């Protein structure tokens, strides 16, 4: 019971921190927020295979086993998220070096929208 509460709390904290960082206006916090959301989803998927310590991933006893499929999915998701994080960091670095600013929103576009709203 305590293990389930701990894992559920960790998923909630990771999700809340990830959403908070995704809503920032700088690229680095957005990248970190996406990483935290990815970790939250990975922990959720891992927990869906049963939280049993010392249980084998083979169905020898129908009451005590761990499903190996979510473990394989999480391992694949970790590799994919690492690659995607590297790609996004390189894109953000290129945008920062090209524009000397790391804001997520485009100021020219915002000024056009504000000018249209005033008319």
Cβ–Cβ < 8 Å for 38, 81 = yes
3-state SS record for 49-64: CCCCCCCCCCCCCCCC
Per-residue pLDDT tens for 25-64? Answer: 888 899 999 999 999 999 998 888 776 666 666 666 666 6
Which pLDDT belongs to residue 108? 64
Domain ranges of the chain: 2-118
Q: What's the pLDDT at 69?
A: 81
- Quote the tokens at residue 42: 């990975």
Give the tens place of pLDDT for each residue, 1-23. Answer: 688 899 899 999 999 999 999 99
pLDDT digits (tens, 9 = 90+) for 66-100: 677 888 888 899 999 999 999 999 988 888 888 77
CATH class (in words) of the domain with range 2-118: mainly alpha
């Amino acid at each position: 019971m305590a293990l389930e509460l701990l894992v559920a709390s960790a998923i909630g904290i990771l999700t809340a921190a990830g959403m908070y960082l995704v809503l920032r206006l700088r690229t680095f916090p957005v990248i970190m927020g996406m990483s935290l959301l990815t970790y939250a989803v990975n922990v959720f998927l891992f927990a869906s295979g049963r939280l049993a310590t010392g249980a084998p991933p083979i169905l020898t006893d129908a009451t005590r086993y761990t499903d190996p499929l979510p473990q394989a999915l999480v391992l694949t998701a970790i590799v994919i998220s690492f690659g995607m994080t590297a790609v996004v960091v390189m894109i953000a670095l290129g945008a920062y070096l090209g524009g000397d600013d790391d804001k997520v929103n485009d100021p020219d576009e915002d000024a056009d929208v504000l000018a249209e709203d005033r008319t």
